[in-house]
Amino acid sequence: MNYLILVRHGQSIWNLEKRFTGWVDVDLTKNGELEAEKAGNLIKNKNIEINFYYSSVQLRANKTLKIIQKVLNDNKNFVKAWQLNERHYGSLTGLNKVETAKKIGEEKVHQFRRSWDIRPEPLKKDNLYHPINIKSYKNIPDIIFPDTESLKDTYERVIKFYEKEVKKKLIKNNVLISAHGNSIRALCKYLFKLDNKEISNLEIPTGNPLIIKLNEKLEIQSSEYLDKKRAKSLLVY
Q: Answer yes or no: is 42 within a domain.
A: no
Checking if the pLDDT of 211 tops 50, the result is yes
Q: Answer yes or no: is 45 within a domain.
A: no
pLDDT in tens, 50-95: 999 999 999 999 999 999 999 999 999 999 999 999 999 999 999 9
Per the structure, the count of domains in the chain is: 1
Please name the residue ranges forming H helices in 73-122.
97-104, 106-114
- 210 forms beta bridges with 6, 225
Strands annotated E in the chain:
2-8, 52-55, 79-80, 175-179, 210-214, 220-225
pLDDT in tens, 101-112: 999 988 888 888
- Output DSSP code: residue 147: S
Q: Cα angle at 167 between 56 and 58, to 5 degrees?
A: 0
pLDDT score for 124: 98
Q: Answer yes or no: is 40 within a domain.
A: no
Checking if the pLDDT of 150 tops 80, the result is yes
Sort strands 220-225 and 210-214 into parallel, antiparallel or unpaired: antiparallel
- Average pLDDT of span 186-192: 96
Q: Answer yes or no: is 136 within a domain.
A: yes
State how far the Cα of 205 lies from the Cα of 231, in Å rounded to an integer.
7
Checking if the pLDDT of 49 tops 90, the result is yes
Give the 3-state secondary structure of residue 91. Answer: helix
pLDDT score for 235: 57
Other CB atoms within 10 Å distance of the CB of residue 71: 16
Percent residues over pLDDT 90 in the chain:
86
Q: Answer yes or no: is 166 within a domain.
A: yes
Sheet holding 79-80, edge to edge: 79-80, 52-55, 175-179, 2-8, 210-214, 220-225
pLDDT score for 233: 67
Domain that holds residue 68: 2-29+50-230
Checking if the pLDDT of 234 tops 60, the result is no
Q: What is the pTM of this model?
A: 0.95
**Confidence band of 182 (pLDDT split at 50, 70, 90):** very high
**Confidence band of 237 (pLDDT split at 50, 70, 90):** very low
Catalytic residues: 9, 86
Computed over every residue of the chain, the mean pLDDT equals: 94
State how far the Cα of 33 lies from the Cα of 29, in Å rounded to an integer.
6
Q: CATH code at 124?
A: 3.40.50.1240
Checking if the pLDDT of 236 tops 80, the result is no
